[in-house]
Amino acid sequence: MIVDCGVYADGVRRDLAKEPETVAQAIGDDTECFGWIGLYEPSEAEMTRVQELFGLHKLAVEDALETHQRPKVDRYGDALVVILRTLWYAEAGDAVETGQVTVFIGPRYVVTVRHGEGAPLTTARAELEERASVLGHGPAAVLWAICDTIVDGYEEVAEAVEVDVDEIETSVFSPERTSDAERIYTLKREVLEMLRAIIPLHEPMESFAHAAVPLISREAAPFFRDVADHVIRVSDQTEALDTLLSSALNAHLARVSVQQNDDMRKISAWVAIAAAPTAIAGIYGMNFRHMPELAIHWGYYGVIVLMLVICATMYAFFRRAGWL
């Protein structure tokens, strides 16, 4: 669907009909303004409608309609196409969900195509419209607002995942027996999804910050430096989380191995304690007619006492050795 259409001049929004045709006509009549059209999970017909109005490249439109694209920046003539991955955290299942925002930037227009529930651009648009001095930089200001909103979302997700990682560390090193391998694996997979969205943005944000890309003026470039710094920070934080999860998994597996060794030592100790009386009872249960001590009146009681003494001695030995 078409979410919003706006025409801006000198950092101020004009009150016009929210239709792509109105935006195209306005920027055709006034060379000092630019338009911003926002679409959410548009149909092919809606994308074709906007494509024809603003001359969007066919290949870029195909990428915008297909989700799960890799974050990238492509240039088509005098226009740029920026694809960004959005992230949001779902408490149920420790899941990091992903979406996509494609931004078409021309000299006098911006078209955004969003897929997924993450990083709604309505707030970014409203905040940008309140900052006329920033919006005065034209389409570059819109790109900055979108990048800033999405990267801020990365930081929120990283903080939520960090809480889960802290819980796992506490569980792994708790005195109780826990089974954390499955949750650790799940979080590592989600962290990998985060890195796939964040890492490819390093180079584009640095290019924007140094005005090394067309349509990003030197006056607008400083705004992207802050975004580039945030990308580096959240990237380092996410890589640290991945390292912590790997360490937690190794610690969990090592602890499971130690617990299994403890269990085997306890089993072995009890088997050894039970073996002594079993051996004695087996010997005297062979029913031979001529055996030592068979004629002794207190022989039965003596054997019972001997079994108890041997068992108690072995128990004390294993207890002192830490096997029991």
- The DSSP symbol for 293 reads T
In this model, does residue 146 exceed pLDDT 90? yes
Query: What is the reported pTM?
Result: 0.79
Q: Are strands 109-115 and 34-40 parallel, antiparallel or unpaired?
A: parallel
Are 86 and 150 contacting, i.e. CB atoms less than 8 angstroms apart?
yes
**Per-residue model confidence as pLDDT tens digits over 14-27:** 877 888 888 888 88
CA-nearest of 122, 108, 102 to 42 is 102
Return the structure tokens found at 211.
């005005």
Strand order in the sheet with 12-14: 12-14, 2-9, 34-40, 109-115, 95-105, 79-90, 72-76
Residues 161-189 have a mean pLDDT of 86
Identify which has the larger pLDDT, 269 or 232: 232
Identify which has the larger pLDDT, 256 or 193: 193
Return the structure tokens found at 260.
């299994």
In this model, does residue 287 exceed pLDDT 70? no
Identify which has the larger pLDDT, 4 or 284: 4
Burial environment of residue 208 by CB neighbours within 10 A (0 to 12, 13 to 18, 19 or more):
buried
Task: Give the start-to-end residue ranges of the domains of the chain.
Answer: 2-255, 260-321
Q: Cα dist. 304→112, 170, 298, 301 in Å?
A: 88, 49, 10, 5
Q: Which residues contact 236 (CB under 8 A, 6 or more apart)?
A: none
In this structure, how many other beta carbons lie within 10 angstroms of the beta carbon of residue 48?
14
DSSP output for 137-170: TTHHHHHHHHHHHHHHHHHHHHHHHHHHHHHHHH
CB-based burial, 130-165: b 16+ in 10 Å, e otherwise: eeeebbebbbbbbbbbbbbbbbebbbebbebbeebb
Distance between CA 113 and CA 130 in Å, rounded? 22
For the domain made up of 2-255, give the CATH fold: Beta Polymerase; domain 2 (3.30.460)
Tallying the residues shown for the chain, one arrives at 324
Distance between CA 164 and CA 1 in Å, rounded? 36
With bands split at pLDDT 50, 70 and 90, how would you rate the model's confidence at 201? very high
Burial environment of residue 193 by CB neighbours within 10 A (0 to 12, 13 to 18, 19 or more):
middle
Residues 60-74 have a mean pLDDT of 89
For the domain made up of 260-321, give the CATH fold: Methane Monooxygenase Hydroxylase; Chain G, domain 1 (1.20.58)
Mean pLDDT score of the chain: 86
Helix and strand totals (H; E) in the chain? 10, 7
Distance between CA 149 and CA 230 in Å, rounded? 11
What is the phi-psi region of residue 138: left when phi exceeds 0, alpha when psi lies from -120 to 50, beta otherwise?
Answer: left
In this model, does residue 293 exceed pLDDT 70? no
With bands split at pLDDT 50, 70 and 90, how would you rate the model's confidence at 294? low
Are 116 and 97 contacting, i.e. CB atoms less than 8 angstroms apart?
yes
Distance between CA 140 and CA 124 in Å, rounded? 14
Are 226 and 155 contacting, i.e. CB atoms less than 8 angstroms apart?
no
Are 124 and 36 contacting, i.e. CB atoms less than 8 angstroms apart?
no
Distance between CA 26 and CA 18 in Å, rounded? 12
